């Protein structure tokens, strides 16, 4: 029997430390180390005493032919199916992470109801809410009459015994992994050791029975409960459910998918009767747009394979401070500094005595460098007080030398812009020539200086 030993485990990344410390060596987070016994962690204890059993290795070539695409369970909720790459995969484990209160339980209740209505056996295991509470939510969502099976359990062995009864389930939802615990580990529920061991047991169940499982995980900044990051590498797919405070829409973002594309998003709107799909996010993000004002530029962006148009707003104002402020919401702060530096160095635009604020409308987050050109246009427009044409979209990456660089998917970006009634585009030279329509009106500046000259006019 392995000797019981005390370790301090980071609740954020799972790194084990022999001694307590204020800061984790692994991820650099503060106050995340928690004392945990390791005598019966994975791979030690009674399990490691079992007799080895010979497995079977098969040649890869003999597999071809009889295996097609991963067998999927389609929910019919388009935005969810898009994010999972076409539905839940049988025998796989998916992690759905997000801030508390963002709507994870709501999303999965709706998914469970949709699947149950299609004749699948769905079990919703909740460790956070009583069955009556789940039923209340289902009533509010108008899905209380669907044959989803509910269980309020937290012990993994009990859960496996519960779902082992009757017909094999197609999908098991575990809400949330932070409440699960197994007899095999001694630590308290919510610690890294428990979360890992419980997730491991459920994943083993999925692989051996062919049921799909969904693990719900809360994300926290404080190290009090283990972050879902510690199970990210164990599961087949990771989706994050995000939203900005004060806004009603939610984005389901794929960050890992062993069976499909990553970088996909599903867009929803939270209402008083649950989540509603938003099949055309550009309309949502541009919805609040009024007539063209100085400092606003529409960026034709991409999320995975999907074009998304958003408005970028800049405010450049004389600064009373010695060191002017730079504040960014929805974009990269270092990237803004870079665009400002290129504007100063190559285009003769001075921001040194001005505060600069940059905001992506609707609380949306952009991660693409292709937004450089739209950001630069918004900044120059605000500084000069000259509004940009209201029917123009911008996209293109800017290099440190001030050149405008090509980006991927120019065709889809232009098509989306056209669909939403835009008539002009400013885009990189050297991007493939999409035929007809808006591209005939596209202007392709060689350098950022050309764009500045055109705006300042
Ligand atoms: P919930 O799904 O419980 O969040 P999570 O499981 O991620 O913690 O959603 C909680 C929030 O959603 C709560 O603030 C209420 C809101 N909500 C609505 O606005 N409309 C609804 O129909 C439902 C069910 C919840
Ligand atoms: Mg919940």
Q: What is the pLDDT of residues 262-293, one digit of tens each?
A: 878 899 999 999 999 988 888 777 866 766 78
User: In which residue are the tokens 């070539």 written?
Assistant: 61
* Ligand 1 midpoint to CA 322 (Å): 45
Ligand lying nearest the CA atom of residue 103 = 1
Residue 169, annotated ligand binder?
Answer: no
Q: Whose CA is nearest to atom 13 of ligand 1?
A: 101
Residue 188: Cβ-neighbour burial (10 angstroms; 0-12, 13-18, 19+) = exposed
Cα separation, 411 vs 416, in Å, equals: 9
Which positions ≥6 away from 369 have C-beta within 8 Å? 335, 397, 407
Q: Give the chain's residues under pLDDT 50.
A: 1-2, 39-46, 66, 223-224
pLDDT number for residue 288: 66
Residues 128 and 236 in one domain: yes
Contact present, 74 and 81 (Cβ < 8 Å): yes
Residues 263 and 290 in one domain: no
For residue 172, is it within any domain?
Answer: yes
* Ligand 2 midpoint to CA 103 (Å): 7
pTM for the model stands at: 0.78
Q: Whose CA is nearest to atom 2 of ligand 1?
A: 103
For residue 321, is it within any domain?
Answer: yes
Contact present, 427 and 409 (Cβ < 8 Å): no
Contact present, 299 and 393 (Cβ < 8 Å): yes
Record the tokens describing residue 343, joined without a space.
């504007």
Residue 428, annotated ligand binder?
Answer: no
pLDDT number for residue 449: 96
For residue 4, is it within any domain?
Answer: no
Which positions ≥6 away from 299 have C-beta within 8 Å? 309, 310, 311, 312, 366, 370, 371, 374, 375, 393, 394, 395
Record the tokens describing residue 48, joined without a space.
């490691």
For residue 60, is it within any domain?
Answer: no
Among 251, 279, 307, where does a domain finish? 279
Whether residue 101 has its Cβ less than 6 Å from ligand 1: yes
Specify which residues 150 forms β-bridges with.
Answer: 124
Whether residue 248 has its Cβ less than 6 Å from ligand 1: no
Whether residue 126 has its Cβ less than 6 Å from ligand 1: no
Residue 158, annotated ligand binder?
Answer: no
pLDDT number for residue 41: 47
List phi, psi (to 5°) of 161: -70, -40
Residues 271 and 355 in one domain: no
For the chain, the domain total comes to 2
Cα separation, 419 vs 423, in Å, equals: 10
Residues 215 and 247 in one domain: yes
What's the per-residue H, E or C state across 49-96?
A: HCCCCCCCCCCHHHHCCCCCCCCEECCCCHHHHHHHCCCEECCCEEEE
Q: Which atom of ligand 1 is nearest to the CA of 274?
A: 22
Among 279, 311, 346, where does a domain finish? 279
For residue 197, the enclosing domain spans: 71-279
Identify which of 200, 201, 210 has the alpha carbon closest to the alpha carbon of residue 168: 210
Q: Which atom of ligand 1 is nearest to the CA of 175?
A: 6
For residue 363, is it within any domain?
Answer: yes
Residue 105, annotated ligand binder?
Answer: yes
For residue 141, is it within any domain?
Answer: yes
pLDDT number for residue 260: 85
For residue 144, is it within any domain?
Answer: yes
Mutation pick for ligand 1 pocket among 80, 96, 99, 103 (CB with most ligand atoms within 8 Å): 103
Ligand lying nearest the CA atom of residue 175 = 2
Give pLDDT tens digits for 50-102. 678 888 887 877 665 545 566 899 999 999 999 999 999 999 999 999 888 89
Among 262, 279, 296, where does a domain finish? 279
Whether residue 91 has its Cβ less than 6 Å from ligand 1: no
Whether residue 142 has its Cβ less than 6 Å from ligand 1: no
Residue 103, annotated ligand binder?
Answer: yes
Residues 274 and 157 in one domain: yes
Residue 260: which CATH number? Answer: 3.40.50.300
For residue 324, is it within any domain?
Answer: yes
* DSSP-based three-state secondary structure for 371: helix
Residues 210 and 90 in one domain: yes
pLDDT number for residue 306: 82
Cα separation, 187 vs 40, in Å, equals: 9
Cα separation, 188 vs 195, in Å, equals: 10
* Ligand 2 midpoint to CA 107 (Å): 9
Residues 197 and 291 in one domain: no
Residue 427: which CATH number? Answer: 3.30.230.10
Cα separation, 95 vs 203, in Å, equals: 11
């Amino acid at each position: 029997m392995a000797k019981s030993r005390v370790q301090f485990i980071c609740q954020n990344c799972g790194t084990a430390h022999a001694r307590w410390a204020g800061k984790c060596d692994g991820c650099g987070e503060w106050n995340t180390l928690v004392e945990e016994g390791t005598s019966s962690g994975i791979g030690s204890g009674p399990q490691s005493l079992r007799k080895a059993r010979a497995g079977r290795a098969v040649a890869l070539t003999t597999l071809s032919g009889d295996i097609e695409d991963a067998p999927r369970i389609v929910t019919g909720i388009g935005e969810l199916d898009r994010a999972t790459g076409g539905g839940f995969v049988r025998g796989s484990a998916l992690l759905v992470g997000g801030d508390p209160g963002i709507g994870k339980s709501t999303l999965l209740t709706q998914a469970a109801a949709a699947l149950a209505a299609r004749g699948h056996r769905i079990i919703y295991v909740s460790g956070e809410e009583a069955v009556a509470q789940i039923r209340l939510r289902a009533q509010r969502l108008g899905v209380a009459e669907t044959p989803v099976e509910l269980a309020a359990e937290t012990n993994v062995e009990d859960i496996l015994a519960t779902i082992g009864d009757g017909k094999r389930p197609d999908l098991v939802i575990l809400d949330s992994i932070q409440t699960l615990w197994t007899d095999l580990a001694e630590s308290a529920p919510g610690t890294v050791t428990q979360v890992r061991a419980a997730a491991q047991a459920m994943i083993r169940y999925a692989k051996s029975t062919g049921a799909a499982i969904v693990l719900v995980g809360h994300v926290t900044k404080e190290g009090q409960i283990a972050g879902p990051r510690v199970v990210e590498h164990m599961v087949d797919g990771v989706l994050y459910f995000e939203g900005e405070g004060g806004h009603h829409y939610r984005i389901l973002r794929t960050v890992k998918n062993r069976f499909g594309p990553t970088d996909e998003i599903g867009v929803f709107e939270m209402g008083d009767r649950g989540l509603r799909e938003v099949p055309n996010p550009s309309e949502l993000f541009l919805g609040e747009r009024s007539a063209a004002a100085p400092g606003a530029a529409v960026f034709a962006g991409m999320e995975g394979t999907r074009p998304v148009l958003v408005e970028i707003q800049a405010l450049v104002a004389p600064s009373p401070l010695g060191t002017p402020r730079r504040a960014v919401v929805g974009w990269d702060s270092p990237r803004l500094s870079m665009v400002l530096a290129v504007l100063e160095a190559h285009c003769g635009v001075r921001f040194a005595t001005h505060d600069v604020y940059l905001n992506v409308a609707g609380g949306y987050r952009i991660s693409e460098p292709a937004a450089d050109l739209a950001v630069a246009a918004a900044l120059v427009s605000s500084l000069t007080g000259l509004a940009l044409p209201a029917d123009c979209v911008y996209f293109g990456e800017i290099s440190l030398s001030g050149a405008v660089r090509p980006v991927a998917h120019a065709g889809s970006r232009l098509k989306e812009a056209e669909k939403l009634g835009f008539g002009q585009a400013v885009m990189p030279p050297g991007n493939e020539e999409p035929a007809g329509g808006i591209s005939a009106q596209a202007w392709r500046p060689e350098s950022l200086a050309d764009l500045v000259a055109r705006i300042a006019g």
